[in-house]
Amino acid sequence: MKTDIEPTSPTEPPALASSRGTGRIGDKVFLGLSRGSGILLLVIMAAIAAFLTVRAVSAISDDHGNFLTTFEWNTSSRPMVFGIAVLVYGTIVSSIIAMLIAVPVAVGIALFISHYAPRRLATPVAYVIDLLAAVPSIVYGLWGALFLVPHLTGLYKWLDDYLGWTKIFEYNDGTPRSLFTVGILLAIMIIPIVTSVSREVFRQVPQMHEEAALALGATRWEVIRMSVLPFGRSGIISASMLGLGRALGETMAVATVLSPNYLINASLLDPGGGTFAQNIASHFKEADGPARDALIASGLVLFVITLLVNGAARLIIARRKEYSGAAA
Amino acid sequence: MAKRIDVSGLTAYYGTHKAIEDISMTVEPRSVTAFIGPSGCGKSTFLRTLNRMHEVTPGGRVEGKVMLDDENLYATGVDPVSVRRTVGMVFQRPNPFPTMSIFENVAAGLKLNGSYKKSELEGIVEKSLKGANLWNEVKDRLNKPGAGLSGGQQQRLCIARAIAVEPQVLLMDEPCSALDPISTLAIEDLIGELKERFTIVIVTHNMQQAARVSDRTAFFNLAGVGQPGKLIEIDETERIFSNPSVQATEDYISGRFG
């Protein structure tokens, strides 16, 4: 009788114990992999920052000019005299011009693709835009130098005629290898990425938010203003930051188009100026040890500017988080 | 304020698929008309043809007439945008504008229709929120986001938003299906009050709800999958639930199918 009560197979494990040990191991391996990659990323970031800082400090202590205010980049003579004032100005101004042109155009294209164009047209347009994002920057640079620059003189003369009195749009008949030209070229380069990201965000606007506006008697534009743009706001900011990151760091296209000097022009249209990335690319080849450190110091500043810009964008997004579409 | 809806020979398509076929009915002003029927019978589609929301869906088109008193909503030259300003709608899932405050949500439709003074807006918002039985719960936090309210409150906010523009007709597409029983009761009470002022059409899957809130009930059915939905009958709610004239209606409400 006693044997009847016993389980039929005493070797069988209790029901709740896992019969598949592999699942546990898989979890552990995956945890290790993902944790490892996370830590590796932080280590690489810290290593870059440390490398930049160490080399930059040694360069700045060798600088016989003022690192922040000197309008000169002379690292082949000893002692070295260099400063980043022109580069800060040129980088920020060309990027601002690029953003002012690119973001409205890109949001417009994205809205056209996601909300206005019939599907037969939207798909090829979206495809072409994505294709543009894959064009190498040197190709943009060559196109900019050989085609865009000569064709901008007319526009710049016109701007000079009507807005020349502002000094900002004064133009003195040089070849327009200027910061404004760089801004236009950068805008063209970042429009695809800003468009692609915005378009994806606009496509994800929940149907029910758009119908809410429609049911109140909103026109198509009013639906976009009431539902699509507010929902896509943080997405547009993220997309713009991706574009801005590219604009701030763009090297070859800027180096190809700009005719650099170490002056800050009142006019955006006259040639001259420089950006961090362009300056590094132009000097790196002939630079020896200390001169390279000077370039690295400027690279560190660009790194910091990029971090600040991204931080600011995150703040903007976080500040209105409780109003974001994610809450609904 | 409230207008009569007179539908005749209405057929609606999604692309080549015929969703509902040859529907004719009259919806009385200042009353609640409920649409019931199994899933896929086209009752929601039919509801959406009453404010021309159906055609927003790609491929959506409609044949037939929908008279609002003496105006055909589908006459040439009628702007669907102005139709929707006259015929309001409340959806299955509460959909307050997530980026707007409670106040802005209620005022959203008014701002589309023209410019109001701040004091006027405040008056209308208060009146609409009171009309939706929500005022007491939100009057101290009108500037907080609408999406922060509970599901039932959000749905009443959507009703406030819809009635703020003083529509002739209020369409409700399963307004309680995402809500708990207490919130559902609040909405049902509200529907009873709103019918004093508006013509109300409500789609519901809940037959007790149809029996509780509506004056007249329409039963929709479809012959089979892929077949268009049809109106089987419409009558006084009491009659539909006690002594319907069609066998299919009786089978449906007694739970024998669907």
Helix (H, G, I), strand (E, B) or coil at A94: helix
Q: Are B135 and B126 in contact (CB under 8 A)?
A: yes
Best mutation target, B56, B95, B159, B174, to test chain A (most A CBs within 10 A): B95
d(CA A301, CA A233): 29
- Residue A25 is assigned to a structural domain of this protein: no
Whole-angstrom CA distances from A196 to A110, A129, A135, A206, A278 are 7, 7, 15, 18, 27
Q: What is the rounded average pLDDT of the residues A130-151?
A: 91
Name the average pLDDT for chain A. 86
Structure tokens at B30: 């200042």
Instruction: Report strand pairing: B5-14 vs B87-90.
Output: unpaired
CATH of the domain at A154: 1.10.3720.10
| % of chain A exceeding 90 in pLDDT | 42
Q: Residue A328 — very low, low, confident or very high, per pLDDT cuts 50/70/90?
A: very low
- Residue A252 is assigned to a structural domain of this protein: yes
pLDDT of residue A15: 64
pLDDT of residue A9: 53
- Residue A263 is assigned to a structural domain of this protein: yes
Q: Are A290 and A263 in contact (CB under 8 A)?
A: no
Q: What is the dihedral of CA B135, B136, B142, B146, to 10 degrees?
A: -70
Task: Let me know if A15 is exposed, middle or buried by CB neighbors in 10 A (0-12, 13-18, 19+).
Answer: exposed
pLDDT of A22 > 70? The answer is no
Q: What is the rounded average pLDDT of the residues A264-270?
A: 83
Are the beta carbons of A217 and B91 separated by less than 8 Å? no
Point out which residues pair with B201 in neighbouring strands: B33, B171
- Residue A19 is assigned to a structural domain of this protein: no
> Which fold does the domain B5-97+169-254 belong to in CATH?
Rossmann fold (3.40.50)
The DSSP code for B16 is: T
Are the beta carbons of A230 and B89 separated by less than 8 Å? no
Whole-angstrom CA distances from A220 to A75, A117, A217, B162, B209 are 58, 12, 10, 18, 35
Domains held by chain A: number: 1
- Residue A191 is assigned to a structural domain of this protein: yes
Q: Residue A5 — very low, low, confident or very high, per pLDDT cuts 50/70/90?
A: low
| % of chain A exceeding 70 in pLDDT | 90
CA distance A201 to chain B (A): 15
pLDDT of residue A326: 46
pLDDT of residue A72: 82
Q: What is the rounded average pLDDT of the residues A186-207?
A: 92
Question: How does pLDDT run across A231-246, given as a tens digit for each residue?
Answer: 898 889 989 998 998 9
- Residue A34 is assigned to a structural domain of this protein: no
Structure tokens at A189: 């380069």
- Residue A243 is assigned to a structural domain of this protein: yes
pLDDT of residue A327: 39
Task: Let me know if A286 is exposed, middle or buried by CB neighbors in 10 A (0-12, 13-18, 19+).
Answer: exposed
pLDDT of residue B30: 92
The DSSP code for A269 is: S
ipTM of this complex: 0.88
Are the beta carbons of B91 and A322 separated by less than 8 Å? no
What are the start-end ranges of the H helices in chain B? 43-49, 80-86, 102-113, 118-131, 135-138, 151-164, 181-194, 207-213, 237-242, 247-253
d(CA B90, CA B110): 16
Task: Let me know if B25 is exposed, middle or buried by CB neighbors in 10 A (0-12, 13-18, 19+).
Answer: middle
Partners of residue A213 in chain B, C-beta under 8 Å: 97, 108
Name the average pLDDT for chain B. 90
Q: What is the dihedral of CA A157, A162, A163, A169, to 10 degrees?
A: 0
Q: Residue A36 — very low, low, confident or very high, per pLDDT cuts 50/70/90?
A: very high
A194 against A160, higher pLDDT: A194
Range of the domain at A190: 65-324
Show which of residues 268-327 on chain A sit within 8 Å of chain B, judged by CB atoms: 320, 322-325, 327
Pairs of residues, one from chain A and one from chain B, whose beta carbons lie less than 8 Å apart: 86
- Residue A150 is assigned to a structural domain of this protein: yes
pLDDT less than 50: residues of chain B: 258
pLDDT of A23 > 70? The answer is no
Structure tokens at A186: 């950068």
What residue segments make up the domains of chain B, in order of their start?
5-97+169-254
Q: What is the rounded average pLDDT of the residues A125-147?
A: 91
